[in-house]
């Protein structure tokens, strides 16, 4: 597994490709992106392609004002772009699975308000002999850095900069079903 920053870039490229309608009828996907930004704005995007139906939609919630705005789905990459500005980018490897609970846990442990980016992507390909699916489920944490500070000292059980080996959080975990044999690759 690559480090969190490299994985962030890889994942943005994958989502950008998924937001373009695909003519491959054997290809299916669904994804969700939730991003709690520093300025107390939460973005949520959902996309899917199944049985020839392609759809990507988004929302922007301003937590301070309580405003909810619908966004075109093609803005998903732009909504995530500011996450790159974080001095520290880490994988979350804890037990929480929502933006609110992850934010609360990181804030309690580090005393810093994080940016949280939750991404889930499931892609599939089927033919006459087999079907394959790939799962990515990532929680990326962005923090403002200070010189000489490392989040791993204070929160090594919930944050890691690289080496994402986890039963729940994963990148491109593949399952092939059908054909001559069944295999599960992690």
User: Could you read off the pLDDT of 15-47 as tens digits, one per residue?
Assistant: 998 887 665 566 788 999 999 998 889 999 999
pTM (2 d.p.):
0.84
pLDDT-above-70 percentage for the chain: 81
Query: How far are the Cα atoms of 2, 81, 87, 95, 109 from residue 145, in angstroms, in the given order?
Result: 20, 18, 5, 24, 15
| pLDDT(84) > 60 | yes
Q: What does the pLDDT read at residue 186?
A: 46
User: What pLDDT does residue 157 have?
Assistant: 84
* Separation CA 168–CA 178 (nearest Å): 24
Q: Give 157 or 118, the one with higher predicted confidence.
A: 118
Which residues, other chains included, contact 148 with Cβ-Cβ below 8 Å and sequence gap of 6+?
none
149 has pLDDT over 70: no
**DSSP label at residue 169:** S
How far apart CA 132 and CA 125 sit, in angstroms, is 5
Largest CA distance in the chain: 56
């Amino acid at each position: 597994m690559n480090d969190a920053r490299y994985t962030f870039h890889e994942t943005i490229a994958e989502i950008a490709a998924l937001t373009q309608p695909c003519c491959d009828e054997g290809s299916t996907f669904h994804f969700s992106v939730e991003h709690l930004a520093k300025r107390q704005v939460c973005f949520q995007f959902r996309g899917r392609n199944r049985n020839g139906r392609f759809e990507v939609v988004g929302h922007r919630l301003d937590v301070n004002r309580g405003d909810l705005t619908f966004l075109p789905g093609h803005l998903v990459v732009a909504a995530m772009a500011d996450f790159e500005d974080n001095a520290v980018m880490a994988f979350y490897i804890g037990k929480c699975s929502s933006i609110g609970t992850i934010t609360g846990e990181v804030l309690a442990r580090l005393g810093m308000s994080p940016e949280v980016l939750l991404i889930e992507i499931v892609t599939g390909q089927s033919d006459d002999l087999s079907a394959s699916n790939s799962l990515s489920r990532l929680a990326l944490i962005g923090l403002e850095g200070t010189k000489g500070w490392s989040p791993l000292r204070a929160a090594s059980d919930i944050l890691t900069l690289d080496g994402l080996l986890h039963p729940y959080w994963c990148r491109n975990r593949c399952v092939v079903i059908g054909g001559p044999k069944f295999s599960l690759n992690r």
